[in-house]
Chains A and B, each alone.
Chain A
Amino acid sequence: MRILLIEDDAATADYVAGGLGEEGHVVDVARNGKDGLFLALNEPFDVIVTDRMLPGPDGLAILRALRASSITTPVLLLTALGEVDRRVEGLEAGADDYLAKPFAFSELRARIRALARRPAAQAEERELAVGDLRLDLLRRAAERGGRRVELLPTEFRLLEYMMRHPGAVLTRTMLLEKVWDFSFDPTTNVVDVHVSRLRRKLEAAGEAPMIRTVRGAGYVLGPAAPPGGAAPR
């Protein structure tokens, strides 16, 4: 993937660019808002990662300029600690995701992957399918290999989100944000409990595992290997 990173702090920029480079991505780094906006407007990128506070036009201004120019490249906004309640502001300006600094690199990596997988314009979908798992979005029903799976509303939302990102590592924070709208980490393990319940429903005796736990990172939905090989579109 070709990724544009707009970040004025040299240490963070090197850390992120180095990590993404090791993953095999091509990373262009802009150190201020002006250069970043210029690159974003003139070069094709798969994902743009921008700091919110920048010299020159800031992250939100860049975002608005991009959206005003009908550039729909997914944008991940980075922000300072404790400003999470400004998340809505960023999302309203057209950001696709929002991550507070300091973050674990695995979190950033997972979010960038999820963004890149997001279809540019979500068509009216009626059904999602991953392997032998099917989710009927209209009837709000799930079945695995012909076996009907009864889901509670929350479990349905969780499964829908996971099935939209098959094969990608989804962190607990991502699931909390996207499924429950929690912009904070609850003391109790809400995500683990819900995922393990969903897993129990999806994986009846004798069936292959559907949800894998990635230690220290999160969960992946999809057939064991190769990951992401059975994308539903």
Chain B
Amino acid sequence: MIRLRSFAPRVALAMAVVVLLTSLLGAGWGWLRAQAALRQQLDLVLAAEAEGLLRDYETFGLRGLSEVAEITSRRPGPLLVLLQAADGRPIAGRLPAAPTVLRGFATWRQGEGEVPLRALGAVLPGGANLIVAADLSSVDRAATALAWTPPVAGGVAALVALGLGFLLASRLERRLAGISGAARAVMAGDLARRLPESGRGDEFDRLAVTINAMLARIETLVAEVRQVTDDVAHDLRSPLSRLRQRLEAALARARDPAADEAALEGAIGELDGILATFAALLRIARAEAGAGREGFAPVDLSALVAAVAEAYAPVAEEAGRALEAEVAPGQVIEGSAPLLRQAVANLLDNSLAHGEGRIRVRLRPGAALEVEDEGPGIPAEERQRVVRRFYRLDRSRGTPGTGLGLSLVAAVAGLHGGALSLGEGPGGKGLRATLALTPGERPAILKPSS
């Protein structure tokens, strides 16, 4: 369940090791400091004892001192006293391995493996040498006892850290298992699955919210792609079946040059239509994928719109309609001129094919193009859908066109960071298509095939 590969126990273990190591270092340092302090204390004790003995010597003379020394050294306790003659001959007391004459402090060992001794020596006016000593084992024992405190505390801290680490690990493991399980389900095809959120709003929840937003976006995109694929399959199947029937019928008929030629020409016409649909689909796909942005250059939108309107004006006239253009001068944007030209042309094609009455083309400063007509317009609930590939209103099924025109306009708008929105013309009549070509100009975002 909890393996060392898991993050939290690894951290806990590392922390425990660090706590232990620092407490051991602390113990060493503490021992040294304690020992030094205690030895200093001991030196003071020795000095006080020596002073007392010297006072005895002043009061009672050498004989008195030797008696006191004898008594003191027999007394149980760490304190040892030796009174020796100037030549090292002991007079009173006892001290193993004492030097012949000691003046001031000294430390030595009584023998191999024995505890070290700390001693203070003084030479008396008669030449005799008084040495007061204490063995250091008690001092070292006290230092050791003091030094044990940090490692004991450290060990406890390390154990607590380990315990907390494992506890944290199991909770982490549980939450990660939830995330990982959800991710696996998504991978297995359940695109509607989302990561669990605890509701505590912690960093895991924030991560889950972000990933869930990403999953929602992926789900939408996949649904769109699926929709597009279905649309493509459906809308290419009908012309392809028509083509097949046509060719089959022609083949089954008796050979007749004129009829065969007509059949072949019809087939080529049908194929050209299919190829045009393909080309439009590829263009939309490329524009939606953002391809071609690297080729963006400054485009004189005013000139472009004016030129397209000029190309379409006679067409409108022939159809008994009027086309009026009102173009703000000097509108330049970064973009793809061929695609923008096609977007404008598609909007005009759309108005010519599905609209009625006067067509008004208006390029507003800030680069928004409006195309209005006085036809039946598009019902509000259909406006999102007509931008989808192949989607056509029931009443326009009979008119020529691929059903891809507005999809391309929307894709081109998106490529340029803008948006296509559809609304009502002036007075609630007809259709007004607004192609906003700068990001600031989006009234209501219409995405292709959404």
The chain A residues found within 8 Å of chain B, CB to CB, are 81-85, 87-89, 100, 102, 104, 152-154, 180-190, 193-194, 197, 216
Contacts and interface: CB of A to CB of B under 8 A. Distances in A.
A182 B342 contact: yes
13 contacts: A84-B279, A85-B283, A85-B295, A88-B338, A104-B268, A104-B272, A181-B337, A181-B338, A181-B341, A184-B338, A186-B346, A187-B353, A188-B348
Given A183-B342, A185-B276, A187-B353, A85 B336 contact: yes
Contacts, number: 81
B265 A189 contact: no
B295 A154 contact: no
A186 B349 contact: yes
Given A82-B286, A102-B275, A89 B295 contact: yes
Contact of B338 (A87, A100, A188, A194): A87
B278 A82 contact: yes
Contacts of A85: 283, 286, 291-292, 295, 336, 338-339
A201 B190 CA distance: 67
A82 B282 contact: yes
Contacts of A82: 278-279, 281-283, 286
B164 to A, nearest CB: 61
Contacts of B352: 187-188
B311 interface: yes
Given A82-B283, A85-B295, A216-B265, A194 B314 contact: yes
A185 B275 CA distance: 11
B148 interface: no
A108 to B, nearest CB: 15
Contact of A186 (B291, B336, B337, B345): B345
Interface string B274-296: 01101101110010000110010
Contacts of B339: 85
Contacts of A152: 310
Given A104-B268, A182-B341, 13 more contacts: A81-B278, A84-B279, A84-B338, A85-B336, A153-B310, A183-B341, A184-B338, A187-B400, A188-B349, A188-B352, A188-B353, A189-B315, A193-B314
A188 B353 CA distance: 8
B286 A187 contact: no
Nearest to A180: B311
Interface string B183-205: 00000000000000000000000
A168 B307 CA distance: 26
B268 to A, nearest CB: 8
A87 B339 CA distance: 12
Contacts of A180: 307-308, 311
A84 B339 CA distance: 10
Contacts of A185: 276
B248 interface: no
Interface of B: 265, 268, 272, 275-276, 278-279, 281-283, 286, 291-292, 295, 307-308, 310-312, 314-315, 318, 336-339, 341-342, 345-346, 348-349, 352-353, 400-402, 405
A216 B269 CA distance: 10
Nearest to A101: B275
B349 A187 contact: yes
Contacts of B272: 104
Contacts of A183: 338, 341-342
B210 to A, nearest CB: 35
A104 B341 CA distance: 24
B279 A188 contact: no
A81 B275 contact: yes
A194 B310 CA distance: 10
A100 to B, nearest CB: 7
B295 A88 contact: yes
Given A81-B282, A182-B345, A186-B349, A193 B338 contact: no
A188 B312 contact: yes
A81 B311 contact: no
B218 to A, nearest CB: 26
A154 B311 contact: yes
Contacts of A193: 314-315, 318
Nearest to A198: B314
A24 to B, nearest CB: 24
Contacts of B318: 193
A87 B341 CA distance: 14
Contacts of B286: 82, 85
A119 to B, nearest CB: 26
A104 B352 CA distance: 28
A153 B291 CA distance: 34
Contacts of B312: 188, 190
B285 to A, nearest CB: 8
B274 to A, nearest CB: 11
A102 B275 CA distance: 8
Nearest to B345: A186
Nearest to A153: B310
B345 A184 contact: yes
